[in-house]
Structure 1
Amino acid sequence: MFYEIVSIGVFIFVMIAIITHKINRTTASMLGALIVIIIGVFEDQMDAFTDYIDFNTIFLLLGMMIFVNVLKKRNIFTFIGVYTLKKVGHSVKSLYFILILLVALISSVIDNVTTILIFIPISLAICDSLDLEYFPLILAEIFASNIGGTATIIGDPPNIMIASAADISFVDFSKVMFPLSLINLLALVGFVFFVFRKELNKKIESKVIDSMEFESLIENKKEFVLSFILLILVILLFVFQHQLNLEACIIAMIAAFFSLFLLERHDIDHILKEVEWESILFFMGLFIITGALEETGVLSFLADKLIGLTSLSSDVFLGLLLIISSSISGFLDNIPFTAAVIPVIENLIKLSPKINFNIWYYLSAGACVGGNMTSIGASANIIALALLYQFKGMKVSFGRFLKYGFFIVLINIIISYIYFKIIF
């Protein structure tokens, strides 16, 4: 019982530190991780690192941060931003719509973090060019990346786990979840257009767009073309990673070190200094703290409580599953939560005549869209806000994010429940 109380206490301490900003989130996260290791939550101290830190995510972040910084020096993202403006930039609403749609579509086939790492520099460059506020567009893209991730098996790690456990094919999963993702995305567009209507009604002077030139952005044509080719190749590698049998982190490291070899062969210090080391350490600490909750059985306890709810009607139970999974995923990494719940769902299907196979889709929807609730609800959220601070010095508080995240998650849960009721 001692270890359970300490694990919960450490988790609450880190959440309070993040919410109040009294302590730097990385310091709080790493201190919390060290506490659960020192007191002996893990049988072997190294188990905390080998069993619970998701090194696929850590090296994915590291590799893509290096890659993005190499390409950013060649103005590739600013170029794409200006090109986008030339095509659809005469209306802020059309610009938002195109970028939200692109982020969601790419997030359905590529890891959300990778999508965010590609699009945030582009979006910041666009905002600078048009003198637009950063926060509304970055927030919309964060929400779009998590909603887009619900569309396919490969869009978000929980979907891979659920599809594997339930033996759902890529096509069967997409038939159910892709339309839901699209409906939720349209709801997001409506939400953003209403909440940020003042910003979106801003007029863009045609002469500002017309005066923008591509030529001035290309300082070295050979390096620029090579950067563009590298970007396309890396995106293709992510799209076909399962066919190529490559982990996401391996692709990210390939991108990082091939780009360094081809474009920054001698001096890489300035590139490595641009890596968001604070975010990487924060993730590592958070993985260990969540691992402590799993190691002590706290996550399993929460999952087992779902069994007690099956005495309710199936409609009420499935609605509660959506609410519970999205709420927990708003504060905890959805990967360990999904891992803890899957065995419980398997038993529920076997033991309860009220529960059928469709419960897997409810779990997927809740675990994925719940990540939009808070600034730490998903990896993409943390990285996007870290990039916003790194490049523009803008901090977004936990409360400010929650003010919008709570409502978009609520809207998506209601839509998901109605959608599932109709198709099932």
Structure 2
Amino acid sequence: MSNWHAWAALAVFAGAYVLIITEWVHRVAAALGGAALMLALRATDADAAFFSTSSGIDWNVIFLLLGMMMIVGVLRRTGLFEFLAIWAVKRARAKPFRVMVMLVVITAVASALLDNVTTVLLVAPVTLLVCERLNLPVAPFLIAEVLASNIGGIATLVGDPPNIIIASRAGLNFNDFLVHLAPLAVILTAVLVVMCRFMFRRAFVYDEKLAAEVMALSEREAIRDRRLLVQGLAVLGLVVAAFVLHPVLHYEPSVVALLGAGLLVAISPVKTNDVLADVEWPTLAFFAGLFIMVGALIETGVIKEVSSALADATGGNALGATMLLLGASAVLSGIVDNIPYVATMAPITADLVHTVGDTHGHVLWWALAVGADLGGNATAIGASANVVVLGIAERNRTPISFWTFTRYGAPVAAVTIAVSGLYIWLRYFALA
């Protein structure tokens, strides 16, 4: 592409980003409008936008979301989420902060075993019901959970899509991520819990009357359709098992989710139209537009220019390269989706590994993974899970603005990246 196309793509992306941030127009309109301009200006084309694995719509993400939204839509009709909401509140003695800690820890652990998007799709409905029962503001709890999902996702190969890309390029396996990054995920989850105690302190209002009412409820009575519940949980169990066994089965999460959704719709009495009505179509459309815009930046060479400049700035120093890669990945992943960023950065990181040498070369891969995964917490569109939660909140008439999310997400991203830098320095340099 010509230099003119690169500048045009950058201008369109910046304009769309401003519209999303300011909310002058709906974020779906901004993303789709930006994608249309990218195509009209020939910053990308149909082949690249719809069929390229490196610069097009990530259909794996789209169909993973579609499949899991359909499964969640069926499970919602069983009363399962009401059951879990009452159970969680009673275990936490209806104390708001205890409830948040429980949901944060559950989300972080689940995000290590599943992908973080699937986790928030399952946990968010429970959270909405908990907040309704205790008359609590929804935004702090949903934001805390999505931050926890991105933190927990660093722990394993399947926890966040960029990890799979890194593992493939670097020849890493499930146990490599578990040994090197799971301890960091535990530390960062604890850090998040402490930060939540202060960031959301105004949300922890204890209503003794409402608490007593919830404590008196029987969670078993919340189940409305036991047969459908058994069918739904059986299919969900198969889907979860297939996610965890990804290194063995080699089925993409999107394929697993669609197979599970198709099976559940086929065996359950729920009408297909009703299931499809529960799908967050605006969220899927937003992702499609965002992928096309970021893909245009890749096609015109904008992302590669940024990545190459980052590689040139390291000068071959192992510690300097690691910290620069960690910080720059965090910043860039807060602006563009971390999946195309990692896909672009992976070959450049491989060159850096070769330059640095075997002694510290592998640390660069961990810096890329941690920076890309945690940087997504910085803004409302930095990670797929963020966008999904904003869509769920809007659908339930409790919208979370871009700035509301970013006001909490950016400090958490900054602190967790700083702690991660200390962890990497101590483990791989100071104490190696």
Asked if these proteins are the same fold (TM beyond 0.5), I'd say: yes
Between the aligned partners of 1:201 and 1:210, the Cα distance in structure 2 is 16
CA contact (8 A) 1:92 1:203 kept: no
Shift of residue 173, structure 1, vs aligned partner: 2.4
Between the aligned partners of 2:290 and 2:59, the Cα distance in structure 1 is 13
Q: How does 1:361-400 map to 2 (within 5 A)?
A: 361-391=366-396, 393-400=397-404
SS at structure 1 position matched to 2:165: helix
Between the aligned partners of 1:296 and 1:285, the Cα distance in structure 2 is 17
Q: Aligned residue for 1:126?
A: 130
What TM-score do the two structures reach when normalised by structure 2? 0.92
Shift of residue 242, structure 1, vs aligned partner: 3.4
Q: How does 1:22-421 map to 2 (within 5 A)?
A: 22-42=24-44, 45-51=46-52, 52-200=56-204, 202=206, 204=208, 207-265=212-270, 267-311=271-315, 314-352=318-356, 356-391=361-396, 393-421=397-425
CA contact (8 A) 2:158 2:243 kept: no
Between the aligned partners of 1:281 and 1:252, the Cα distance in structure 2 is 18
Between the aligned partners of 1:10 and 1:419, the Cα distance in structure 2 is 38
The alpha-carbon distance between structure 1 residues 251 and 169, as it changes in their structure 2 partners (threshold 3 A), is closer
CA contact (8 A) 1:130 1:204 kept: no
Could you tell me which runs of 5 or more consecutive residues in structure 1 were left unpaired when the two chains were aligned. none
The alpha-carbon distance between structure 1 residues 218 and 38, as it changes in their structure 2 partners (threshold 3 A), is same
The alpha-carbon distance between structure 1 residues 346 and 229, as it changes in their structure 2 partners (threshold 3 A), is closer
Could you tell me which runs of 5 or more consecutive residues in structure 2 were left unpaired when the two chains were aligned. none
The alpha-carbon distance between structure 1 residues 170 and 234, as it changes in their structure 2 partners (threshold 3 A), is closer
RMSD between aligned residues: 1.9
CA contact (8 A) 1:76 1:227 kept: no
* AA matched with 1:241: H
Shift of residue 221, structure 1, vs aligned partner: 2.9
* Percent identity (aligned): 33
Q: Aligned residue for 2:10?
A: 8
Structure 1 residues 236-245 or 322-331, which shifts more?
A: 236-245
The alpha-carbon distance between structure 1 residues 224 and 338, as it changes in their structure 2 partners (threshold 3 A), is closer
SS at structure 1 position matched to 2:381: coil
Shift of residue 352, structure 1, vs aligned partner: 4.5
The alpha-carbon distance between structure 1 residues 78 and 341, as it changes in their structure 2 partners (threshold 3 A), is same
Between the aligned partners of 1:35 and 1:229, the Cα distance in structure 2 is 45
Structure 1 residues 29-38 or 195-204, which shifts more?
A: 195-204
CA contact (8 A) 1:67 1:256 kept: yes
CA contact (8 A) 1:145 1:380 kept: yes
Between the aligned partners of 2:321 and 2:206, the Cα distance in structure 1 is 45
SS at structure 2 position matched to 1:107: helix
Shift of residue 176, structure 1, vs aligned partner: 1.3
CA contact (8 A) 1:104 1:149 kept: yes
Q: What do the CA deviations read for 1:226-255 (whole angstroms, capped 9, x no partner)?
A: 333333333223222332332211221122
Between the aligned partners of 2:88 and 2:151, the Cα distance in structure 1 is 23
SS at structure 1 position matched to 2:155: coil
Aligned length: 421
Shift of residue 114, structure 1, vs aligned partner: 0.5
Between the aligned partners of 1:157 and 1:235, the Cα distance in structure 2 is 16
* AA matched with 1:88: A
Q: Aligned residue for 1:20?
A: 22
The alpha-carbon distance between structure 1 residues 361 and 130, as it changes in their structure 2 partners (threshold 3 A), is same
Q: What do the CA deviations read for 1:190-247 (whole angstroms, capped 9, x no partner)?
A: 0001111232352555522332123542333322333333333332232223323322
SS at structure 2 position matched to 1:155: coil
CA contact (8 A) 1:276 1:386 kept: yes
CA contact (8 A) 1:92 1:204 kept: no
The alpha-carbon distance between structure 1 residues 25 and 187, as it changes in their structure 2 partners (threshold 3 A), is same
Between the aligned partners of 2:208 and 2:299, the Cα distance in structure 1 is 54
Structure 1 residues 141-150 or 305-314, which shifts more?
A: 305-314
SS at structure 1 position matched to 2:206: coil
Structure 1 residues 191-200 or 80-89, which shifts more?
A: 80-89
Shift of residue 335, structure 1, vs aligned partner: 1.3
SS at structure 1 position matched to 2:330: helix
